[in-house]
Amino acid sequence: METNPSEIKRLHAQIEGYVQGVGFRYFTLEQARRLGLTGWVRNLPNGRVEVSAEGSQQDLEELLRKLYEGPSGAYVRDITYEYLAPTGEDFSFRVTF
């Protein structure tokens, strides 16, 4: 079922904890693609992982739940996030550097 463009939102999140070097970006990529989201994920110099994803509110909430779980080997201490207006700039989900 296609999502109405007016229902599309953007999730911007920063994940804190033991989240680098444990496959967190590729875990996020897999989850986002499974949900049909667009956007990106990247490591930050401060040790956090940053995510920007666009899709339906329901799919973004599911992604957020998965981010709290993380891959095995990761430890998520906290996630700071907000919902914003979509940019529509991305056509797929990717890992950036």
Residue 43 annotated to the active site: yes
For residue 44 the two structure tokens come to: 């930050």
Catalytic residue selected from 4, 10, 25, 48: 25
For β-strands 38-43 and 93-95, DSSP reports them as: parallel
Catalytic residue selected from 43, 46, 65, 77: 43
Residue 25 annotated to the active site: yes
Burial of 49: CB neighbours in 10 Å, binned 0-12, 13-18, 19+:
buried
The catalytic residues are 25, 43
